[in-house]
Amino acid sequence: MIDPHDPPSPPYCIIHNPLHKFSSRWNGRSCLSYLILWSEITIYPCHWCYAESVSALREMGIVYAHENCYGWNGPWAHRSEWQQISDAVTGVSLEFGRAMGLDEPITPIFPNSDFCTGVSGAMGILDVLIQRGEKGESYVVDVAINYYNRWFVNSRGTYPPEIWDDLWSCYDHFVFRSSDNTGITIPAWLQWLRKKKTPGFDEKYFELRKNAALGIDVRTIKLVLNFVEGGVEVGYNVGSRPNGMGGQRIF
Ranked by mean pLDDT, the top range of 14-18, 46-50, 112-116, 243-247 is: 112-116
Select from 49, 43, 40, 56 the least CA-distant residue to 129. 40
- The backbone torsions φ and ψ at residue 147, rounded to the nearest 5 degrees and listed phi first, read -60, -45
Instruction: Determine the pLDDT at residue 25.
Output: 45
Question: What's the whole-number mean pLDDT along residues 85-110?
Answer: 94
The whole-number pLDDT of residue 20 equals 43
DSSP notation for 137-182: --EEEEEEHHHHHHHIIIII----HHHHHHHHHHTTT----TT--H
Amino acid at 82: W
Query: 57 with 4: CB under 8 angstroms?
Result: yes
The pLDDT score that the predictor gives to residue 93 is 96
Residue 67: its pLDDT value, please?
A: 86
Cα–Cα distance, 32 to 29 (Å, whole number): 5
Q: What is the pLDDT of residues 232-242, one digit of tens each?
A: 777 776 666 66
Q: What pLDDT sits at residue 227?
A: 82
Q: Write the burial class of residue 146 (CB in 10 Å: 0-12 exposed, 13-18 middle, 19+ buried).
A: buried
| Residues 95/157, Cβ–Cβ less than 8 Å | no
Q: Of 57-66, 190-199, 207-216, which range is least confident? A: 57-66
Q: How confident is the model at residue 13 (pLDDT cuts 50, 70, 90)?
A: very low
CA–CA gap between residue 70 and residue 83 (Å, rounded): 9
Look at residue 16 and tell me whether its pLDDT is greater than 70.
no
pLDDT in tens, 134-192: 988 888 888 999 999 999 999 999 999 999 999 999 888 999 999 999 899 999 989 98
What whole-number distance in Å separates Cα of residue 102 and Cα of residue 60? 54
- Provide DSSP, 39-98: -SEEETTS-HHHHHHHHTTSSS--EEEEEESS-SSSTTTTSPP-HHHHHHHTTHHHHHHH
Read off the pTM: 0.75
Under the banding of pLDDT at 50, 70 and 90, the label for residue 26 is very low
Higher-pLDDT residue of 156, 7: 156
Q: What single letter denotes the amino acid at residue 73?
A: N
Inter-residue contact 19 to 36 (CB < 8 Å): no
Query: 78-87, 151-160, 224-233: which range is least confident on average?
Result: 224-233
Contacts of 9 (CB under 8 A, 6+ apart): none
